[in-house]
Structure 1
Amino acid sequence: MTLKAAVLGHPIGHSKSPALHRAAYARLGVDVEYSAIDVTVADLPAFMASVRDEPGWRGLSVTMPLKTAMVSEVDEVRGVAGILGVVNTVVFEADGASVRRIGYNTDVAGIVNAVQHAGVVSAPSAVVLGGGGTAAAAIAALKDLGAPSADVFVRDVGRAAEARAASEGVGLSVRILPLSGAAAAMAAADVVITTLPPRGADALADELAALGTRTPGVLLDVAYDPWPSRIASVWQDGGGAVVPGLEMLLYQAVEQVRFFSGLGDRVTAEVIDVMCDAVGAPRRVF
């Protein structure tokens, strides 16, 4: 029987997850068919009901705008996903004659690995742009990196519930601030994580460029299409290191492959290398 996995989201046509996963399963010699499926928040309950008893499912990668909604569609939420209330990975786990759907969050590990490889210092001063599900993962990642606190800049300070919940859940103090004041704080930070949608930081990039100051820290822009983003180009021009969202996507996908293939730590550097090659990401030393 061919095993199945997929990435869910809306829109989904731009996703590079299929390339990453297919390369990994081919290298591992595991027969997992991985596809991309367009699913809206409204469609999610019906979709999850349809796959509950369908044989062969191993896992689901979950992207925007489904990460929060997926919490209500799984049988159990484990690890940091339960703390954040954000699920980006669903694993189909055999339980006797039935199958249980278990929610995880691998975005946190993806962010930690991505910024560590870029040389983020211990206990970094930190800025997060955006207040949604990926920002929640960024807050948890900053806690793991030893950040003492973080400034979270959002378009509407009254709509940052996920960031506030993440702060309380992981025990990292945050300030929720209006996005209009972010440029100067970014330039002074050791690490900046922007979780805004593609082109969502363009105006802020122009403001940062107008300041004419150095940007010596590390910027992770989770958006990877188009690349380089305007904010990434301005940051690099200011002397800072830039981590494309493609690297975060890679590192969180490695954890998913370990779940979906059932091979765990046997997903080694050789597999990660072919995943890098599949999407044009630089190879890193793990």
Structure 2
Amino acid sequence: MSRSRLAVWGDPIAHSKSPLLHAAAYRVLGFDWEYDRRQVTEAEFAGAVRDLDDSWRGLSLTMPLKDEAFRVADSHDAHAELTGVANTLLLGERIEGFNTDVGGIVDALGENGVVAPDAVRLLGAGATAASALVAVSDMGAGRVDVRARRPDRASALVALGEKLGVTVTVSTFDEPASTVELTIASLPGGTALDESVVRPLADHGGVLFDVAYSPWPSALASAWTGGEAIAGLGMLLHQAVRQIRVFAHGDPAAVLPDEAAVVAAMRAVL
């Protein structure tokens, strides 16, 4: 049986642009694959994966399923292993887990001219912040300032920084802000911080990369004064490119045939 079925799972999932992105790519590549979406809760996830038959090639996972996806995978790529989350599962005799969000952040920043930041600030301390920390480490960052409403919840990022050789400090949003070259915001869409909090972060924050992209500009981007504000659509696009590489080749670094045309077709549907 041909493994031609794929889907994105999450809760909620109706908003996902992944079916549009993947369908556009498969048309260019000539892949006779079908890609759908399904609402799956954390409690349902493991059982739903077990119920998939041999027609399934892979899954894309969005919140809140990335932790669960890591747990069901039999093996993990380096980025999934570091962050403890997987947003991509390659199905077969064994389930392989990948985190393509890390590479998606690197690629999105790179196409906007951000390639080697030394000092970075992360706003938020969740799973996306962990991917962002690994991404900026891969780009050569040596210092990362994490801002969180509850700094005690960022202990995993401090430990991850030690593993990566990156100095991570943690504080609340309203503490004095040092100057950084790049700020990555992984706050939930629609989050609005008080102007008294945003102003010093913006004035000393360099380029803003906000993973939120709908609506755009976000409240944070609208108030940003330190440099350019970049929407998270690029991350969405490039993590999907890396997912398709996984589904096609089992390797997020294996370039697709005529990948420039694939990326252009995907960008056109965003």
Q: Compute the TM-score of the two structures, normalised by the length of structure 2.
A: 0.90
The answer to whether structure 1 residue 265 and structure 2 residue 255 are counterparts is: yes
The CA distance in 1 between the partners of 2:70 and 2:205, in whole Å, is: 38
Question: Contact conserved, 1:86 with 1:105, CA < 8 A, in 2?
Answer: yes
Number of corresponding residues: 265
The answer for unaligned runs of 5 or more in structure 1 is: 94-98, 280-286
Question: Deviation at 1:42?
Answer: 1.5
Residue in 1 that maps onto 2:45: 44
SS at the partner of 2:66?
coil
Task: Give the direction of change, closer, same or farther, for the CA distance of 1:190–1:30 in structure 2 (3 Å limit).
Answer: same
Q: Distance in 1 between matches of 2:75 and 2:152?
A: 30
Aligned positions of 1:133-282 closer than 5 A: 133-181=127-175, 184-185=177-178, 188-200=179-191, 202-204=192-194, 206-207=195-196, 210=199, 214=203, 217-235=206-224, 238=225, 240-262=227-249, 264-267=254-257, 268-279=259-270
Deviations 1:89-145 (A, max 9, x none): 11124xxxxx21100111111111111222225343100011111100100011111
8 Å Cα contact 2:77-2:97 kept in structure 1: yes
**Is the contact between residue 3 and residue 56 of structure 2 (CA under 8 Å) also seen in structure 1?**
no
Distance in 2, matches of 1:180 and 1:212, equals: 9
For residues 213 and 274 of structure 1, do their structure 2 counterparts lie closer, same or farther at Cα, with a shift above 3 Å needed? closer
Measured at CA, do residues 270 and 154 of structure 1 come closer, stay the same or move farther in structure 2, by a change above 3 Å? same
Aligned residues of 1:30 and 1:261 also touching (Cα < 8 A): no
CA distance in 2, matches of 1:212, 1:160: 19
Contact 2:133 2:161 in 1 (8 A): yes
Partner AA of 1:266 in structure 2: L
Q: 1:179 is paired with a residue of what secondary structure? A: coil
Aligned pair in 2 of structure 1 residues 34, 120: CA closer, same or farther (>3 Å)? same
**Distance verdict in 2 for CA 1:275–1:192, change over 3 Å:** same
Please, which runs of 5 or more residues in structure 2 have no aligned partner? none
Partner of 2:101: 107
**Cα distance 1:34–1:123, how it changes in 2: closer, same or farther (>3 A)?**
same
C-alpha RMSD of matched pairs (Å)? 2.1
Q: Distance in 2 between matches of 1:161 and 1:9?
A: 26
Looking at structure 2, the residues matched to 14 and 143 of structure 1 have their Cα atoms a distance apart, in angstroms, of 31
Verify the 8 A CA contact 2:183 2:205 in the aligned structure 1. no
- Contact 2:142/2:166 (<8 A) preserved: yes
Alpha-carbon separation, structure 2, partners of 1:247 and 1:266: 18
Q: 1:42 to 1:164 in 2, by over 3 A?
A: farther
Q: 1:85 Cα shift?
A: 0.9
**CA displacement, residues 118-174 of structure 1 (integer Å, 9 cap, x when unaligned):** 222534310001111110010001111111110111111122244234323322221
Letter of the 1:71 partner, please give it.
F
